[in-house]
Amino acid sequence: MARDRTDACEAGRAGNAPAVSGATGGQRLARGYAWVVVALRWPIIVIWLAVLAASLLFLPALGGSGSAPLSDIVPSGGKAVAAQERALRLFGSTVATDTLAVERNPAGLTRAALEAQLQAARSATRTPGVRGAVPVPNTPVPGVRWRERDTTIVTYLFLSPDENLIERESAARAYLASLPPAAAGTERGITGAGPARLAQWDEIDDALPWMEGATVLTILLIVALYFRSVGAPLVTLATAALAYVIAVRALAWSGERADVTAPTEIEPVLVVLLLGLVTDYTVFFMAETRRRLREGFSRVDAARAATARVGPLVFAAGVLVAGCALALLAGELRFFRVFGPGLAVAALVVTLVCLTLVPALMGALGPWLFGRRVRELQRAGQDAEPQPAGARPEPVGRGSSTRRFLARLPTAKPVAALLVAVCAGVLVVAALGTRSVSLSVSFIPSLPSHSEPRQAADAAARGFAPGILSPTEVILEQPGIAGRTAELTRLQGLLAREQGVAAVLGAAQTREQAPSGVVVSRDGGAARFAVVLRDEPTGADAIATYRRLERRTPQLVREAGLPPGVRASYGGETALSAETVDALVSDLRRVIVATAIVTFVLLAVFLRALVAPLLLLAGSVLAFAGSFGLTALLLPDVLGTSEVIYYVPLVAAVMLVGLGSDYNVFIAGRIREETHRRDLRDAIAAGATSASRTITVAGITLALTFALLALVPLLPFRQLALLMTLGVLIDALLVRSVLVPALIALSGRVSWWPRPPRPHPAEP
């Protein structure tokens, strides 16, 4: 009896067709897929459990390491890298390295401490992995004024380039351990970009379990409150855990096959992203299943009907997320070329799990997931008379005439035009905040204050200047230039007077202070300066100083009296960071264009239209621009800095556009579906109303999971947490719920050009 009523009800509901197809063949395909996954529900559950066990047993865990701290973010073939290679050929070494030992005593270092440092440097090669050490004390130097005097020694450690970061830090610590015990009140530590990046990985490892636990609790709480049951959040959590484990193991395995290592920095992002995606997709499935159960569908038929309707939407959303991730391949930085495919693999695995396991669980458990109230409504619905085929749909905003009027009001063109103007205006004004953004790399400042590399760097900055951690290397080449001591000394003075420069070491120092082969090359054809900047070497201010210095050096060379034809090149981490930021800006343009093209093409395929995808894409761009601008305005007050870590905008742009695709497909698909049986205004009102609550819950859940990135005590993750939280909330609560329906109402049936939906033959 229940099955007969279900079939009768099913025949009268055009809503079972997948919203993204709009064709009879697509409907049959969706229903066939739904029938198969629900019919094979028990084998599917067993198979996924077996895949989970196999992943844990045979696939590698996610992890990352590198041979140099900037190796995966520095653009290949950059001028700074070439300058460092030239310095090695001409002088036998670069000015600075990525690993330093710092010793500081505010009361002053004794002569014995200085002698011990010099002796350790002379015998540094006895320490495995150390190729050389150059100690620099803040003793008086002609033409140079440090912040303090005789309090600090910074030792540049030249380590084996064949070792990874962990091995290099171990060598640095062995060198530090070779020093005699320090006097009371003396600070000692290891710092530099290499140890700083290792410290970031340690902070991630420490915070990850807390973040995972908080994310799980957040998801459980929100899903439990939404469905008012215990079973629904447990199914969501079980699916999320299974999908996450399989996805990250598949990502690690695919990385090994491609001979690339996923950066450790992506793991916290993967945690919140994958758990958020699973929650979104599971909530979509379960919300539709619960609705069908309330209407009297049997357990199996409710799962099939919900799967046929939601499955194509989830498939479309998952493919869009993966496609946007692959758009990162349009960039040149290795970090993004690894992150993009990894994110795509993980998104596809999650989508596959949700498309098969969630419908199987719905078919197996049905009303037992949603509590007694749903079971009572299901029984009442089974006893009710089925809706005959071809019956008119229920009116929008059923109930009072006031509720129907309010549901239709935003679809009137004058009101829709006002809503579009207000929403777009607010987002454009917010986007103006991006004008204050400056990008940086900032490994050391990103660390918490208790971190050893941060504390050692602060000690070095107090004794010298922040730029002592990695002086900018300026190399001048011309035959016989080493003999032009007067001109080089004059140029050194000019460089020292430039804005943002703390000190310059070079030709003005005596040969005792700078032996042959250090300041000038042995063949006399090259000279170099070590420019110590006033700011942290990889920060935005230092990058701005470097760019200004690069522009002004040719003029300063002429003012110093050096002959024409002097070739200048620049090395050091500030130069590397400047090129990285420049490459990021270039990548951002290419990736945004690639993301827009991928998103438009996929939306056009799924929605079978050309205008609607443009409207949805415009909404996504406005959402990202507004959220990024708002983040830039809030950063100084919330995080105490206006600098944005270089990879945050690009990662956020791709993820926000990709995640917005979930809601794009869901709400636009529902509206298109409703146009088969209603006029456009009613279709927009009905589609937006039916989708808005689910989108709101999914959006709030996703925003809160991204907010938990702030549990990682590193600046880029807290910036990403703020940007993604604002972006998802703006997308779910403003763009998809208000702006997109208003845009569709304003453009009318042109939205679905060139194949606008037609009424079903069964409709009167």
pLDDT tens digits for range 187-220? 999 999 889 989 998 999 899 999 989 999 999 9
Q: Which of 425, 313, 394 is nearest to 685 (CA)?
A: 394
Tokens matching residue 9: 């009800």
* Backbone torsions φ then ψ of 634, nearest 5 degrees: -85, -20
H or E stretch including 146?
none
Average pLDDT over all residues of the chain: 85
CA distance 598 to 131: 49
Residue 131 φ/ψ, nearest 5 degrees: -90, -25
Partners of 571 in the β-ladder: 473
Residue pLDDT, tens place only, 635-657 = 999 998 889 998 899 889 888 88
| SS3 state of residue 475 | strand
Q: What is the pLDDT of residues 458-470, one digit of tens each?
A: 999 999 999 999 9
CA dihedral 377, 381, 387, 393 (to 10 degrees): 0
Q: CA 634, 637, 643: angle at the middle one, nearest 5?
A: 70
What are the b/e assignments for 84-95, b being 16+ CB within 10 Å? bebbeebbebbb
pLDDT class of 74 with cuts at 50, 70, 90: low
Q: Which residue has the tokens 């200048």?
A: 568
For residue 153, list its beta bridge partners: 103, 137
What is the pLDDT confidence band of residue 308, given thresholds at 50, 70 and 90? very high
Looking at residue 90, its pLDDT comes to: 86
Give the integer Cα–Cα distance in Å for 161 and 150.
Answer: 32
Q: What is the rounded distance in angstroms from the CA atom of residue 658 to the CA atom of residue 727?
A: 12
Q: Phi first, then psi: what are they for 145, rounded to 5°?
A: -125, 110
Band the pLDDT of 553: cuts 50, 70, 90: very high
Residue the block writes with tokens 């993009």: 340
Percent of residues, the chain, with pLDDT higher than 90: 45
CA separation for the pair 364, 299 (Å, rounded): 8
CA 654 from centre of chain: 8
Whether the ω angle into residue 453 lies within 30 degrees of 0, i.e. cis, is no
Query: Is 762's pLDDT higher than 80?
Result: no
Q: How far is CA 10 from CA 285, 380, 394, in A?
A: 17, 17, 15
Distance, CA of 111 to CA of 98 (rounded, Å):
27
Burial class (CB in 10 A: 0-12, 13-18, 19+), 482: buried
Q: Which residue has the higher pLDDT, 61 or 424?
A: 424
- In tens, the pLDDT along 341-360 reads 888 888 899 999 999 999 99
| Alpha-carbon gap, residue 196 to 202, rounded angstroms | 10
Phi, psi of 760 (to 5 degrees): -65, 145
- Cα 284 from chain centre: 25
- The answer to whether 601 and 350 are in contact (CB under 8 A) is no
Q: What is the DSSP letter of 739?
A: I
Q: What are the tokens at 401? A: 């005439």
| pLDDT computed for residue 517 by the predictor | 58
Sequence-ordered list of residues with C-beta below 8 angstroms from that of 332, at least 6 positions apart, any chain: 75, 76, 583, 586, 587
Rounded to an integer, what distance in angstroms lies between the CA atom of residue 468 and that of residue 457?
9
How far is CA 441 from each of CA 395, 470, 575, 576, 645, rounded to the nearest angstrom?
56, 14, 11, 10, 6
Does the pLDDT of residue 414 top 70, yes or no? Answer: yes
d(CA 28, CA 43): 23
What integer pLDDT is reported at residue 511 of this predicted model? 46
pLDDT for 761 beyond 90 = no
Give the DSSP H/E element, type plus range, for residue 476: strand 472-477
* Spatial contact of 2 and 298, defined as CB atoms under 8 Å apart: yes
